[in-house]
Amino acid sequence: DGGITQSPKYLFRKEGQNVTLSCEQNLNHDAMYWYRQDPGQGLRLIYYSQIVNDFQKGDIAEGYSVSREKKESFPLTVTSAQKNPTAFYLCASSPGVAGVPSYNEQFFGPGTRLTVL
């Protein structure tokens, strides 16, 4: 089945640790996104990538890093510089190609719940 997978489902981090959240898609989508969800605040954009080997900061990029070495993968690293990382993290992808009927639609993965111990 085509879709987006995120792993792990639950992740625990100790103070001072870096952790990496995985996001993989087999939809052949060009664009990929990372969002953070906190209670009462909706989703906020962390980073996004429109093509391989290129990515841009979103609204809350501080304390996070990403890479886009392959079209299907867009891992997010939560560094120790992120002071309040406890949240639900959602990865999404989009065709990114005008003319495709769903090109302006984003498809979401199931999410990763990160908790700081």
Partner 1 sequence: AQTVTQSQPEMSVQEAETVTLSCTYDTSESDYYLFWYKQPPSRQMILVIRQEAYKQQNATENRFSVNFQKAAKSFSLKISDSQLGDAAMYFCAYRSAQGNQGGKLIFGQGTELSVKP
Q: Is residue 106 at the binding interface for partner 1, with CB under 8 A as the rule?
A: yes
- When the beta carbons of 63 and 111 are compared against partner 1, the nearer one is 111
- Number of chain positions touching partner 1 (CB under 8 A): 25
Nearest to 91 by CA among 55, 53, 40, 39: 55
* Binds partner 1 by CB under 8 A, chosen from 22, 58, 65, 75: 58
**Phi, psi angles (nearest 5°) of residue 13:** -125, 140
Q: Is residue 71 at the binding interface for partner 1, with CB under 8 A as the rule?
A: no
List residues near partner 1 by CB under 8 A: 31, 33, 35, 40-45, 48, 50, 56, 58, 88, 90, 92, 94, 96, 104-108, 110-111
